[in-house]
Amino acid sequence: MSITTVGSKVHGFEIISRTDLPEYRSVGVLARHIKTGCEVYHLVNDDTENLFSFGFKTIPPDSTGVAHILEHTVLCGSRRFVVKDPFLSLLKGSMNTFLNAMTFPDKTVYPAASTVEKDLFNIMKVYGDAVFFPLLKKELFQQEGHRLYFDESGRPAISGVVYNEMKGNYSSHDSIAAEWCSRSLFPDTPYGVDSGGDPDHIPSLTYEQFVAFHRSYYHPSNARIFLYGSIPTQTHLEFLETEFLHEFSQGEPAPELPLQPEFDAPRRVTEYAPSEHGVENAASITMNWRLAPVTDPVLVLSFEILTEVLLGNSGSPLHMALIDSGLGEDLSGPTGLDTEIRDLVFSVGLRGLEPDKLDAVEALILGELERITREGIEGDAIEAALRKYEFRNREIKGGGPFGLRLMRKAYRGWMHGAKPETTLEFERPFAELRKLARPGYFEQLIRSRLIENPHRTTVTIVPDAELAARKEAEIADRLAKIDRELTAAERERIGLENEALTLLQSTPDSPEDVAKIPFLTIDDAPRTVETILTSVSRLDGTDVHAHDVYTNGIVYVELAFDLEGLDPELDTLLPFFADILGELDLPGMSYDVLAREIDLTTGGIAAYLTSSPTVDDPDAVRKYLFIRVKALEHSAPAALELLGRILRDSETDNPKRIRDILVEARNSMKASVIPAGSAYVALRSMRSLSRASAQDEKWRGVSQYLYLIGLDPASDADRLAGALDRLKREVFTRARLTVNITGTEPARLAVERPVRALNLSLPPGVGDLTVAAGSELFPRCEALIVPATVGYAASSIVASRIGTPEHAAESVLAHLLSTGFLWEQIRMKGGAYGAGAVARALEGAFSFYSYRDPAVENTPGVFRRAVIESAETAFTREAVELAVISIVGKDVRPLSPAEKGAVAFKRSLFGITDELRQKKRDDVLAMTPERVRAAAARLAAELENAAVVVMAGRDAVDRASVQVPALAANKLEIPV
pLDDT digits (tens, 9 = 90+) for 782-801: 999 999 989 999 999 999 99
Q: What is the DSSP letter of 582?
A: T
Give, in order, the Cα–Cα distances in Å from 31 to each of 39, 185, 406, 450. 6, 35, 18, 39
Does one domain contain both 738 and 826? no
Q: Are residues 239 and 354 in the same domain?
A: no
For position 75, which CATH number holds?
A: 3.30.830.10
Q: Residue 742: inside a domain, yes or no?
A: yes
Given this model, what pLDDT does residue 4 score? Answer: 74
Q: Could you read off the pLDDT of 345-367 as tens digits, one per residue?
A: 999 999 999 999 999 999 999 99
In 3D, which of 508, 505, 509 has the Cα closest to residue 147? 505
* Mean pLDDT, residues 16-37: 96
Domain identity same for 250 and 272: no
Do 871 and 751 share a structural domain?
Answer: no
Within this chain, do residues 567 and 595 fall inside the same structural domain, yes or no? yes
- Regarding whether 61 and 85 lie in a shared domain, the answer is yes
Query: Looking at the structure, do residues 790 and 714 belong to the same domain, yes or no?
Result: no
571 and 460, same structural domain? no
Give the C-alpha separation, 181 to 733, whole Å. Answer: 47
Task: Please report whether residue 176 resides in a domain.
Answer: no
pLDDT at 568 over 80: yes
pLDDT in tens, 37-94: 999 999 999 999 999 999 999 999 999 999 999 999 999 999 999 999 999 999 898 9
Question: What's the rounded Cα separation, in Å, for the pair 51 and 28?
Answer: 14
pLDDT exceeds cutoff 60 at 1: no
Residue 770 has pLDDT above 60, yes or no: no
The three-state secondary structure class of 935 is helix
What's the mean pLDDT in 599-626?
93
In a domain, 186, yes or no: no
How far is residue 499 CA from its own chain's centroid? Answer: 36
Write the secondary structure of 304-350 as one string of H (helix), E (strand) and C (coil). HHHHHHHHCCCCCHHHHHHHHCCCCCEECCCCEEECCCCEEEEEEEE
pLDDT given at position 619: 81
Cβ contact 401:49 at 8 Å = yes
Q: Which of 397-401, 480-484, 492-496 has the lowest mean pLDDT?
A: 397-401
Query: Is the residue at 52 inside a domain?
Result: yes
Mean pLDDT of 197-207: 97
Q: Does the structure show a pLDDT above 90 at 242?
A: yes
User: How much is the average pLDDT of 554-569?
Assistant: 94
Name the β-bridge partners of 10: 13
- The pTM assigned to this predicted structure is 0.93
Closest by CA position to 468, among listed 674, 286, 280, 268: 674
244 within some domain: yes
How many domains in the chain?
A: 4
Q: What is the pLDDT of residues 840-856, one digit of tens each?
A: 999 999 999 999 999 99
Q: Is the pLDDT of residue 776 over 80?
A: no
C-alpha dist (Å) from residue 363 to 53, 327, 690: 45, 11, 52
Expressed in angstroms, the distance from the first to the final Cα of the chain is 53
821 plus 731 within the same structural domain: no
Per-residue CA distances from 266 to 345, 372, 450 (Å): 14, 21, 11
Question: From its phi and psi, is residue 485 left (phi > 0), alpha (psi between -120 and 50) or beta?
Answer: alpha
Q: Quick check: is 770 in a domain?
A: no
Mean pLDDT of the region 530-553: 94
Answer yes or no: do 561 and 627 share one domain: yes
CA neighbor of 62 nearest in space, from 153, 196, 175: 196
pLDDT number for residue 775:
58
In the prediction, which pLDDT does 278 show? 58
Asked if residues 181 and 526 have their Cβ atoms less than 8 Å apart, the reply is no
Flag whether pLDDT at 774 surpasses 70.
no
Same domain, 660 and 724: yes
User: Is 754 in the same domain as 880?
Assistant: no
Identify the pLDDT of residue 616: 86
How many helices (H) and strands (E) the chain has is answered by: 36, 29
Domain of 814, in residue numbers: 781-973
Nearest by Cα to 695 from 627, 620, 770, 768: 620
What confidence tens digit (pLDDT) does each residue in 856-905 have?
999 999 999 999 999 998 899 999 999 999 999 999 889 999 999 999 99
Alpha helices by DSSP H, listed for 66-116, are 66-73, 86-92
Residues whose CB is less than 8 angstroms from the CB of residue 286 and which lie 6 or more positions away in sequence, other chains included = 177, 181, 332, 334, 335, 347, 348, 349, 350, 458, 459, 461
Residue 198: inside a domain, yes or no?
no
Q: Is residue 154 part of a domain?
A: no
Q: Please give the pLDDT value at position 277.
A: 64
